[in-house]
Amino acid sequence: MASDVQAAKAKSSLFIRLLLIAGLAGLLCAEGYFGYRLHTLSADQEQLKEDYSNINNITLGLFSVDQWQDKIGGIVNHQVRHFTLTPHQKHELQVEVEQIIMALINRAESLLEKKPTSLMGKIKKLAVKTFVNTDKIKAQVPTYAKTIIAKVDNPQNKQQLSTMALSKFKQVKKTAYVDSSIKANDSLTNVMFNKYHVSDTEALNNKLSNSLERIRTETYNYCFGMLACVIVVLMLWWLVRKRVELHATLFIMSLLFAFILLAVGLTASMIEVDCRISSLDFVLLGEHVVFKNQVLFFQSKSILDVVEVLVKQPAVDSILVGILILVFSILFPFTKLASTGIHLLSRRKIAESKFIKYFAFQSGKWSMADVIVIAILMCYIGLNGLLDKQLAGLNIKTETLTMLTTNNTALQPGYIVFISFVLYGLILSTILKFITPYDSH
């Protein structure tokens, strides 16, 4: 009878354990999917922002000869072709032109009054005095002045003048440096247009902005989905805290959740530095010249990206820092998680070996995962304040010039996932001390 009761209990315990494993496996798959989507979306976001920063980089805008040529050329063309004189201006110009013509006539008369020294000169002077009546010419000066002003105000002449002015701008392209620069810019622009199937920069910017907004929303949704899975696991620990036979199973499954958090936290973007001139507006020849979203600097890095950058530097100190981050903030946490699982599942001899016990219970003081979380946060706060201060010095607002800067530096979902891993790991370490069948000291 007692054996039947024990068998029933064993079957019930086995059923509950299998049910727990099945439920946690489904939850683990959900977390894995959320993590995979967050990772891929983070990479997509980084690529989109990289393309956005390239197409809107200050070297292709504010510092581009091609852009200045188009903008100034358009202003000159508009100013010349739409040049008009008010009645008051025409009157003043009439007076000035008449004065100039009269001055020329008087100058010609003074030259004629000089005594010629040669026979040919005497003949020319006699011919001019005989056939040229200067009084009649002076009387027609107002008519001449009106004719000249009419020629200046003629639309066809304005068009010719505009064409001539624009030809001067096109001569800039003849220099080797400018020509190669413009070709490189055109090549990059064409590549971007073909990549995103658009025909102009404005359409490209709109498409990139819409895609980035969608990805940002999805990324945070998947991030919070991962955290929800972890919270469910911690709630299960509270529910089964008295079911000792389920502790080992639940702990091993909990470790798998931690590994996924660690993997996503290390590879997803953690911090993004984005500095730009949001608007530059100044007045030239009475018209506004506007440059918008001129990217000064952009970088997006995960922890593994930072390690890779540091290790590839030629300086020894940079390589050393990269190795320290790799060892103490990546390898140590990974080894610690693995050691806790080995300690709980292995035989006593292995579970109580110095190596396993050290990493399971004592390596926390050497792991810098929590330190790097704080360091990144402090770096973000300090860098954000520094950039705000420096960019604020570029803000200008006058009647003829307006320049506004923007600091879009921000922590990314990868940071939230990594700090969640650190906190979750600390909780699992505390749980292990209560459920271990061996001495944890």
Res. 209: pLDDT tops 80: yes
pLDDT band of residue 196 (cuts 50, 70, 90) is: confident
pTM of the predicted structure, to 2 decimals: 0.69
The average pLDDT across 18-31 equals: 91
More confident site: 221 or 342: 221
Contacts of 293 (CB under 8 A, 6+ apart): 56, 205, 276, 277, 278
Mean pLDDT of the chain, nearest integer: 75
Domain ranges of the chain: 11-61+218-435, 77-180
The average pLDDT across 188-200 equals: 83
Sequence-ordered strand ranges (E) for 229-366: 271-284, 287-301
The average pLDDT across 264-277 equals: 83
Identity at 353, one-letter amino acid code = S
Contacts of 359 (CB under 8 A, 6+ apart): 332, 335, 336, 338, 339, 340
The reported pLDDT for the residue numbered 391 is: 56
Res. 177: pLDDT tops 50: no
Between CA 344 and CA 294 the distance in angstroms is 56
Identity at 203, one-letter amino acid code = A
The reported pLDDT for the residue numbered 312 is: 86
pLDDT in tens, 282-306: 666 566 777 777 777 777 888 888 8
